[in-house]
Amino acid sequence: MRWPRYFLGLPLHPMLVHFPLVFWLCVPFLDGVALWSAAPLWWGLALGASAAGVVAGVFALMTGLMDYIHLSETGSNDVRLAARHGVRTTLVWCAMSVKLLIAGLADSGPGLILICLLIDVAACGLLLQGALFGTRITYGGYKR
């Protein structure tokens, strides 16, 4: 069975990437509020958003990999840019998965929240780079 790359005639990858992007960009804010307020609700929201991003990210990564394999059909021939996009977003997914593993195994406290906040800020930097590269792939012909 082939992995579907289209839904209702539209490519799936550009539709799916917004979900992990939004979840993961909210996480540093939630971690910061959890660190500042020491309320477990915010830490739980941060972990929930991280987990939701990891789950949604699996589908975005799989459809992105299928688009990379069939790059000539997507209208882009910039293999290097597509590889940079894929490597950065995959690193973000791995970092967030490892962060969830660490958070699940360690005792919750300000030190753990601070470490997770640092991981999240670094991951968001990579995520924004990956999003920029993905945007360049999609809108490569667009010039200001």
Residue recorded with tokens 């300000």: 110
Residue recorded with tokens 């920029």: 132
- pTM for this entry: 0.85
Question: Residue 70 carries which DSSP code?
Answer: T
pLDDT tens for the chain, 144 residues long, are: 455 776 777 777 888 899 999 999 999 999 999 999 988 999 999 999 999 999 999 999 998 888 888 776 656 667 888 889 999 999 999 999 999 999 989 888 889 999 999 999 999 999 999 999 988 887 775 555
Neighbouring C-beta atoms of residue 41, cutoff 10 Å = 11
Hey, is 7 helix, strand or coil? strand
Residue (of 57, 62, 129) closest to 97 by Cα position? 57
